[in-house]
Structure 1
């Protein structure tokens, strides 16, 4: 994911191999991408979506309906495709090309060329409580520097410290601090879950302890009007 934080190094968006911002984001600073450092690997995630630009892995995401993937807006670039339903970003599951993309703040909805039948994530309409323990997922880098994106999906626990910060493009975001892992490049667009529902989309991080996730609740009406879910 491209991680863009505003504290000293928090201007990094979380895209594994940093992804250029979409044309819609022209005129804004390019965010930097992150990946999960620490945490553990995941053995099953039928809702997971690995996002590719021009054939190369760039970001993480989730499938929210048969033809819709939710990821970060700063991940949108070039000819895009996704791999859905596999914890391995390079094999398994099914692949689909992206026919169109729609963005709002640092969230993006990717419309797939054809439907995928799998388990879709549940989207939250409320903010997680400050102090709550949430889980994050992604294929991002596994160390601060000198590492490539993880081949297998990873997860980590984080603690919510605020629900009123901003994402890479000024939308409302959820800030959390590391418990047993944190997001970094390649994790951009990946989900944050609270009580089984997705509450955030990875936007920015410092690679050490802090990450900001674009709020699903803040953008819930837009998601519903665009994707119908």
Structure 2
């Protein structure tokens, strides 16, 4: 992807791009991530994790138990990190509200690594549209999608909302929002791969 395309991205599109960039940088020729490369990724992106913890996370992420992590499996880890960060944010928010009804709570982890930056972007988009109740109504989701992923039609948005609303309560919690994000990221994988390959070819031609 060229610099201008990155600048034109919305925060949600940027979060997808970041997740793809992390995965692409550590995968092997088989387009999957080995245990050793996974350990290296965690040291860079989640530096608080020990090697023993990294191995445990790898086992959790390697859903098909083939000894590698593919993009869909990696996105399971990514969305799990986002959910964990959001829960931490809600805890901080509750503490601030107890201290002062006017206190504002900053989002957790201000983007120290690419993965942290991407998960914070995901939380920021959700919180900006959830109107204080930590859930998205169908209308709030429609507005969010129009701003963040404008290429989707109204029918697409309706279908995404219906699929993500797992408990069928007519609203979307953050975990359900992450399910939607996971689906979008996985469906976009081929397109982003093509753009990244095109950009790499252009850089090679210029050098």
Q: Per residue, is there more helix in 1 or in 2? A: 2
- Structure with larger Rg: 2
Query: Which category of TM-score, normalised to the shorter sequence, fits these structures?
Result: under 0.3
TM-score normalized by the length of structure 2 = 0.27
Task: Point out the structure with the larger strand share.
Answer: 1
Identify the structure with bigger relative contact order (alpha carbons < 8 Å, sequence gap 6+): 1
TM-score normalised over the length of structure 1? 0.25
